[in-house]
C-alpha cells in the first residue's frame, strides 16, 4: 500500500512538472501577445531561460538525490515549483516572467532524474510502470493547454499560474507528512553512497564494454533528437491549433480543449509501448514509433480544420510513444546507486536541446510558417529510425557490485 501511495505521488509530480512548464506556452500564444502587445515570435523566447534551467540543473538534482534523499528532493520539487509559479503570476513584464520561469525551471529539473530513479527499479513490469508514469506527465501537457485556455477566457492568465502553484505547495506539505522519516534521514536504504570501485559499466569484459558504450551513445543521441520532436510538438501545438483549427473554433478554451484531446488520446500510446518494451524489447518498438512519426509529420504539412486535428493526433501518438523507450533502456542498464545521476545526465542532454528548440520555433514560424517546422521534425524522425536500427536485439546488463 505504501509503495502504491508513493507511486501515486510520483505520478502526480510528473503531471505537475509538465503542467507548469507549459502554462506559459498557452498563456503567451493566446493572451500575453495581446496584453503586452508583442508578436508570438517576440514573446516565446522569454521562456528559454526556464528550459535551460530545466536541463542544466537535472544533473546536480540527480547527484544530490543519490547522496541525500530522493524523497527529500521530491518534496523540494513540489513546494519549490509551486512557489515559483505563484511568483510568475505577479510578473509585470516579459523580463519579469522570464526570471520566474528560470526559477520554475530549476525546481522542475528535480522531477525527472529523481522520480524516474524511484520508479525504474527493474523487474518484469518496469516498462509498464514507466509508461503509466509517462501518461501522467503527458496528461499534464494536455491539461496545461486546456486549463490555461479556460483561465484566460473566464478568470485571466495570472490565475493559471497562482492557482496550481498553491495546489502544488499543498501537495508538497502532504508528501512531507507521509514520508518525513525518509526525508529527514541523510543516508537511507536504497540511496547507497557511491564508491570509486563501482561504475556504470561495471564489467571488464571488452566485448560487453563496447556494447554498453554503443548502446549508451545511441540512447543519448536519440534522447537529444527525440527532445527536438517532443518539445516542438508540445510547445507549439496550441499556436498551431490557433492557426490551423480556426474553422472549428477560435476561443482560447476551445483551442485548449482540442490540444487536451490530442494529448490525452496520444498519451495512452505509452501504455502500449510500455507493454511492448517488456515483451519484445526496445529496438523494434523504437523502429515502429519513429516510422509513425515520419509518415504523419510529412502528412501534416498543409492541413487545416478537422484533417489537421486528425493527423495531429496521429503524430502525437508517435511523439508521446517514444518517451518511455530511452528511460526503459537506462533503467535496465544502470546500477541502482547511480540511477538518479545517470537520469540527470539524460535530462541534461534532453532539456538542453529544449532551450534551443524554443528559439527555433520562433525563427521558423516568423520566417517560414509551421509547415517547414514539421518537415524538420520528419527529418528528426528519420534520424532516430537509423540510430534505432543499430541497437542490439537484447540490452546488456551491469554486473552487480
What confidence tens digit (pLDDT) does each residue in 204-227 have?
A: 567 777 777 788 888 888 888 888
Mean model confidence pLDDT for the chain? 82
CB burial class (10 A; 0-12, 13-18, 19+) of residue 13? buried
Asked, for residue 322, whether it belongs to a domain, the answer is yes
Asked, for residue 197, whether it belongs to a domain, the answer is no
Report the pLDDT averaged over residues 342-355.
76
Predicted pLDDT at 392: 83
Asked, for residue 195, whether it belongs to a domain, the answer is no
Q: Would the pLDDT of 318 be above 70? A: yes
Asked, for residue 252, whether it belongs to a domain, the answer is yes
C-alpha distances in Å from residue 382, one per residue of 185, 293, 358, 396: 47, 9, 21, 25
Asked, for residue 199, whether it belongs to a domain, the answer is no
**From CA 59, how far away is CA 345, in angstroms rounded?**
5
**From CA 372, how far away is CA 382, in angstroms rounded?**
16
Q: Would the pLDDT of 18 be above 70? A: yes
Assess contact for 278 and 127: CB atoms under 8 A.
Answer: yes
Cell for 319?
511523439
pTM of the model: 0.72
Predicted pLDDT at 1: 53
Q: Would the pLDDT of 371 be above 70? A: yes
Predicted pLDDT at 357: 81
Select the highest-mean-pLDDT range: 46-60, 103-117, 231-245. Answer: 103-117
Of all residues in the chain, what percent carry a pLDDT higher than 70? 89
Report the pLDDT averaged over residues 360-366.
82
Asked, for residue 394, whether it belongs to a domain, the answer is no
Asked, for residue 396, whether it belongs to a domain, the answer is no
Predicted pLDDT at 336: 67
The count of domains in the chain is 1
Q: E strands along 323-390, which residues?
A: none
Cell for 383?
534520424
Of 397 and 143, the structure prediction assigns the larger pLDDT to: 143
Task: For residue range 21-36, list pLDDT tens digits in order.
Answer: 889 988 887 888 888 9
**From CA 267, how far away is CA 320, in angstroms rounded?**
6
Question: The CATH number of the domain where 28 resides is what?
Answer: 1.20.1250.20
Give the closest residue to 241 by CA, choosing from 146, 153, 158, 321.
Answer: 146
**From CA 248, how far away is CA 259, in angstroms rounded?**
13
**From CA 280, how far away is CA 334, in angstroms rounded?**
20
Cell for 46?
522569454
- Which band of pLDDT confidence, cut at 50, 70 and 90, is reported for residue 87? very high
Predicted pLDDT at 327: 81
- Which band of pLDDT confidence, cut at 50, 70 and 90, is reported for residue 78? very high
Assess contact for 69 and 193: CB atoms under 8 A.
Answer: no
Assess contact for 329 and 273: CB atoms under 8 A.
Answer: no
Predicted pLDDT at 170: 96
Of all residues in the chain, what percent carry a pLDDT higher than 90? 23
Give the closest residue to 67 by CA, choosing from 324, 265, 340, 388.
Answer: 340
Q: Would the pLDDT of 77 be above 80? A: yes
Predicted pLDDT at 399: 45
- Which band of pLDDT confidence, cut at 50, 70 and 90, is reported for residue 398? low
Q: Provide the domain limits for residue 120.
A: 2-185+205-388
Task: For residue range 160-206, list pLDDT tens digits in order.
Answer: 999 999 999 999 999 999 988 877 765 444 444 444 333 444 445 67
Asked, for residue 247, whether it belongs to a domain, the answer is yes
Predicted pLDDT at 162: 94
Nearest-5° angle of CA 306, CA 307, CA 312? 100
Cell for 289?
514509433
Torsional class of 376: left (φ above 0), alpha (ψ -120 to 50), beta (otherwise): alpha
Amino acid at each position: 500500500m505504501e509503495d502504491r501511495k508513493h507511486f501515486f505521488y510520483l505520478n502526480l509530480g510528473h503531471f505537475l512538472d509538465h503542467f507548469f512548464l507549459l502554462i506559459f506556452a498557452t498563456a503567451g500564444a493566446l493572451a500575453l501577445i495581446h496584453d503586452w502587445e508583442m508578436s508570438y515570435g517576440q514573446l516565446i523566447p522569454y521562456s528559454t531561460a526556464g528550459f535551460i534551467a530545466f536541463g542544466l540543473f537535472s544533473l546536480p538534482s540527480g547527484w544530490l538525490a543519490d547522496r541525500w534523499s530522493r524523497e527529500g528532493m521530491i518534496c523540494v520539487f513540489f513546494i519549490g515549483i509551486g512557489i515559483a509559479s505563484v511568483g510568475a503570476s505577479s510578473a509585470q513584464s516579459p523580463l519579469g516572467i522570464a526570471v520566474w520561469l528560470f526559477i520554475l525551471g530549476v525546481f522542475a529539473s528535480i522531477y525527472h532524474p529523481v522520480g524516474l530513479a524511484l520508479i525504474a527499479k527493474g523487474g518484469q513490469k518496469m516498462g509498464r510502470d514507466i509508461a503509466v508514469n509517462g501518461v501522467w506527465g503527458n496528461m499534464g501537457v494536455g491539461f496545461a493547454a486546456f486549463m490555461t485556455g479556460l483561465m484566460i477566457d473566464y478568470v485571466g492568465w495570472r490565475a493559471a499560474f497562482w492557482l496550481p502553484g498553491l495546489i502544488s505547495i499543498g501537495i508538497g506539505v502532504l508528501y512531507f507528512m507521509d514520508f518525513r522519516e525518509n526525508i529527514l534521514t541523510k543516508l537511507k536504504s536504497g540511496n547507497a553512497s557511491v564508491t570509486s570501485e563501482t561504475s556504470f559499466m561495471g564489467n571488464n569484459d571488452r566485448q560487453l564494454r563496447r556494447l554498453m558504450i554503443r548502446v549508451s551513445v545511441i540512447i543519448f543521441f536519440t534522447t537529444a533528437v527525440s527532445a527536438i520532436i517532443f518539445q516542438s510538438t508540445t510547445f507549439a501545438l496550441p499556436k498551431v491549433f490557433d492557426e490551423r483549427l480556426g474553422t472549428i473554433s477560435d476561443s482560447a478554451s476551445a483551442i485548449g480543449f482540442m490540444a487536451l484531446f490530442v494529448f490525452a488520446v496520444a498519451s495512452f500510446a505509452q501504455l502500449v509501448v510500455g507493454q511492448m518494451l517488456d515483451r519484445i524489447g526496445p529496438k523494434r518498438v523504437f523502429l515502429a514509433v519513429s516510422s509513425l512519426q515520419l509518415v504523419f509529420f510529412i502528412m501534416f504539412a498543409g492541413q487545416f480544420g478537422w484533417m489537421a486535428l486528425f493527423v495531429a493526433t496521429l503524430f502525437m501518438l508517435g511523439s508521446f510513444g517514444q518517451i518511455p523507450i530511452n528511460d526503459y533502456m537506462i533503467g535496465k542498464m544502470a546500477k541502482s546507486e547511480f540511477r538518479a545521476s545517470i537520469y540527470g545526465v539524460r535530462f541534461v542532454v534532453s532539456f538542453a536541446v529544449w532551450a534551443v528548440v524554443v528559439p527555433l520555433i520562433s525563427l521558423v514560424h516568423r520566417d517560414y510558417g509551421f509547415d517547414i517546422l514539421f518537415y524538420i521534425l520528419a527529418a528528426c524522425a528519420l534520424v532516430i529510425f537509423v540510430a534505432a536500427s543499430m541497437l542490439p536485439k537484447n540490452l546488456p546488463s551491469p554486473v552487480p557490485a
